[in-house]
Structure 1
Amino acid sequence: MSLQRANGHSSSSSSHKKHKTEESDEELLMVPDMEAAGSTCVLSSSADDGVNNPELDTTQNGVSTAKRRRGRNPVDKEYRSLKRLLRNRVSAQQARERKKVYVSDLESRANELQNNNDQLEEKISTLTNENTMLRKMLINTRPKTDDNH
């Protein structure tokens, strides 16, 4: 029995499990057709019991689907858990990359500000020295007045 995957390709259930780890990010973000995926597991489990399960609803073509407890199947739980884990890893990696860029920008900005600060301090020192020299020149160029006259 084959499963219809989200991207339109069909594959056997054993190769689907093997291919699960090799799926692209787009395929991981798509939700598989639960009715088609759940029907294989539901049919095999209900055939073993021989008892009519009230949680199952039989459609016109004889395929059983879960009515209320959709996705409670352990295989589906594991699949969703692995998908969530992978999405979380990708999200965490993206957050780490954003943080690296942010920290790098902060470091370069800090270096620019430090260089600017050093230049301003040098300019202050130069202007202070120039101001002192000009004051001395002003004092030296004033005409000396004689207090005796």
Structure 2
Amino acid sequence: METNFIVKAFHELSGLELYEILRLRSEVFVVEQNCVYQDMDNKDQDSYHLICYRNNSIAAYARIIPAGISYNEVSIGRVVTAKNARGLGLGKDLMTEAVKICAELFADTQIRIGAQLYLLKFYNSLGFVEQGEPYDEDGISHIEMVKK
């Protein structure tokens, strides 16, 4: 099974790609996690979109946000893997690729994320270190983490 990653600025996304990204985010973050929140937050337009394709469909996705939009640092967010693609290691591959792309796009910079608390060990394994105390975001416990 072929897996490949592409990264695009918002204006480079086709209508179909944008629809599939928003559909995946909604399926997981709104429906599966039963979290009612405004996913489309006006950050997509200024972000880069990392898409993991597996067998010609989106299997995983992450949004790379330039510094000054969500945090003072560059950020990776909306990290998601499709339900039918879980357990294949795509989350780790996706985050490794996202960190690499951050370094390519923004040179030597820190990356800050707002991680769901239950994924703390996963992000620790990728070199992210927690900062501050856990906080509630839309009914889900999160913690800020930084990778230098």
TM-score bin (small chain): under 0.3
Rg comparison, structure with higher value: 1
Higher relative contact order (CA 8 A, sep 6+): 2
The structure carrying a bigger strand percent of its residues is 2
